[in-house]
Amino acid sequence: MTGNQFHLGIDVGGTFTDAVLIRGETARIDTVKVPSTPADPAIGFMEALSRVLAKGGVAPGSISHLVHGTTVATNSLIEGKTPRTAFITTEGFGDMLEIARQVRPSLYDVHFEKLRPLVPRDLCWEVPERLDAAGGVLRPLDEDAVRGISRALAERGVRSVAVCLLHGYANPVHETRVGEILREGDPDLLISLSSSVCPEFREYFRASTCVINACIVPVVARYLAGIEEGLGRVGVEAELLVMQSNGGVLTAAQATSKPVFMVESGPAAGVVAANFIAGQLGRADLISFDMGGTTAKAGLILDGRPRVTKEYEVGAQAQPGQGMTRAAGYPIRTPVIDLVEVGAGGGSLAWVDPGGGLRVGPRSAGADPGPICYGRGGTEPTITDANLVLGRLNPDYFLGGEMALDLHAAAAGIRERCARPLGLDLTAAAHGIIEIANATMINALRLVTVRRGNDPRELSMVAFGGAGPLHANRLCEEMRIPSLVVPPSPGTASALGLLVTDLRHEFSRTRVMSAADADTERVGSLFEPMEEEGRRTLQREGVARENMEFRRGIEMRYVGQSSEVAVTCPSEGLDARALADAARSFHREHERAYGHGYPEQPVELVNFTVAAIGRMARPRLRRIASNGTSVSDARTGTRRVFFADAGGFIETALYERSRLRAGHAVVGPAIIEEVDSTTLVHAGYRAAVDEFGNLLIAAGARA
């Protein structure tokens, strides 16, 4: 990123919409945070755009790079706001979506009910055809039956259709022909083919992924078209890029055709930002902790790369303290940055259950009405209200003073809804809310570390999100994480993550074969077409050949297993030794993940993957001044803040973060305030300021 280029990232979250503007010649960063507009997220997007351009004094036509992160795809599924969608499959498999899978999220929960299929049974059609597992045609496609289905779709007012035929991953010929016939009948029909969206085995998972794509294609297409129209109206000429769930970006056109790849775009951007920030400090193994207004999210980064998984679901309800329970939602088989998400954001509601227990989340006050202290009609207490009552937030300096917080209303709400029913005083109830929220987030941190074979004592944490720095020090203390990094403007860090990633396209193929008998020529013949497809895609997007990178991977399993472990494979020099090295990597990864490995057991190669990456220019972080000022110059006074280990409220030093300089150190207990977040430093800890303005927090003098 050089010259007078301006890079802009806009992240639409559940509570706030954040914008980050970076100018190339000075690395100056301007940020804004505005309330999200759930009824029409594009309104919040355009408001954030307008305000950040005005703040930076930048003309819309000067923007050279624009990336967007959004939850519009996920929200449409959760809220059931998807258009009429149909499903076409092989004759005899019309009940696939109804049957789903036999796995249950809680084995002994007799009250568990599966989510309703996204496509009702009366919109599921069967077509006579059949392929074998190798892709050979056993029964030709009945094209007249497809034409009859096409007429029925028109009569039923279907706008989008998902096509998933048995073994379509092995040979797309029948799915492709079904799509052609449907398009002949209705050129405007939106068609998702499983052989294009998710060409992998396991019919239900492939069908679910394809159906989700079909359900959200009209929603995302309309939303992105509206965004692009708004950008054109104000004079922004830069191509709109969209963050994917895997941490890369893709063009709006690609996102419109395959929106299933962007269902977790906002949370993924946060992990990318954490990796970028930590990378500047030479830290490659870390935990990304993002606590926003609606949820808290924890992700793991090892060797400088975020962990990626294909075991992801949407639509499941978060369970208190457990995050999203497996087998309770609609599965998606696309690469997603591995996150544990829990309902413990600043707006998460505190309530007393029928048994007299204090609970926090997973329901949230969201952006409208928000916490009680926002003064927008909220009546149920939240984590933000509790932090305000405990003195951790400045009621006159929220969003830099742009929004005043009502301390008395927050106190009254907690007293009425929580303290009195539990027989507690106000302070004890507020502290209980915070401790319960912390326990929920600690459980999430354990899930991404200890439960996955990683020792948190060997990791750093990067904490961000508007509420993250308020809770992170306590979480690190509990988890024995030795070092905490709080970047500048943590409340808008996810928007920064949009600007520090690359174009990325994922391709996969299923071919099950024994590792012992794997032929390098056959394996190479699977990788090469995917790489060529990725190369053509990147060329269409204007990526120079020297900026292209291709990463190969193989998903392996022991013979008899039903799940796979992904390992990397060299992009060049594929030979018998490389395949043997991949098998050895599989044994090590299996042991790390599950605590045991069986090197003597036969291994199967199952899925072959290629990530086509178009490297993009990274903005550089701006170094802050290191002058002769004293840390006392940044001190703005004191405030009574509650600390449980101190036995109650104590006078706590307050600091203005914008006045801190490189080399300054703040000793806890202390509060460090900035426009979009507040950092709480506990007693016994020290926050040192590095050359990039990051706060490095550690016990004693280790920071």
Would you give the DSSP letter of residue 622?
P
> In sequence order, what are the residues at sequence separation of 6 or more whose Cβ sits closer than 8 angstroms to the Cβ of residue 60?
53, 231, 234, 235, 236, 237
When pLDDT is cut at 50, 70 and 90, the band that residue 563 belongs to is confident
Residue 617 is predicted with a pLDDT of 77
Interatomic CA distance for residues 668 and 473, integer angstroms: 11
When pLDDT is cut at 50, 70 and 90, the band that residue 325 belongs to is low
Residue 613 predicted with pLDDT over 60: yes
To the question of pTM greater than 0.85 for the whole model, the response is yes
Mean pLDDT of the chain: 90
pLDDT tens digits, 87-113 = 999 999 999 999 988 877 777 777 777
Extract the tokens encoding 375.
Answer: 């003064």
Interatomic CA distance for residues 278 and 119, integer angstroms: 43
pLDDT tens digits, 267-302 = 889 999 999 999 888 999 999 999 988 889 999 999
When pLDDT is cut at 50, 70 and 90, the band that residue 702 belongs to is very low
When pLDDT is cut at 50, 70 and 90, the band that residue 1 belongs to is very low
When pLDDT is cut at 50, 70 and 90, the band that residue 33 belongs to is confident
Neighbours of 691 (CB within 10 A): 16
Residue 214 predicted with pLDDT over 90: yes
pLDDT tens digits, 458-500 = 999 999 998 999 999 999 999 999 999 999 999 888 888 998 8
Interatomic CA distance for residues 597 and 581, integer angstroms: 15
Strand partners for 323: 319
Domains and CATH numbers, the chain: 6-77+221-262 (3.30.420.40), 81-212 (3.40.1360), 503-614 (3.30.1490), 631-699 (no CATH)
Residue 703 is predicted with a pLDDT of 40
Least confident of 145-149, 161-165, 622-626, 667-671: 622-626
Residue 138 is predicted with a pLDDT of 96
pLDDT tens digits, 172-197 = 999 999 999 999 999 999 999 999 99
Least Cα distance to 269 among 614, 19, 95, 636 occurs for: 19
pLDDT, average across residues 556-583? 89
When pLDDT is cut at 50, 70 and 90, the band that residue 324 belongs to is very low
> In sequence order, what are the residues at sequence separation of 6 or more whose Cβ sits closer than 8 angstroms to the Cβ of residue 556?
515, 564, 565, 566, 567, 582, 583, 586, 603, 604, 605, 606
Interatomic CA distance for residues 344 and 349, integer angstroms: 9
When pLDDT is cut at 50, 70 and 90, the band that residue 566 belongs to is very high
Residue 260 is predicted with a pLDDT of 93
Residue 530 is predicted with a pLDDT of 95
What percentage of the chain carries pLDDT values higher than 70? 96
Residue 377 predicted with pLDDT over 70: yes
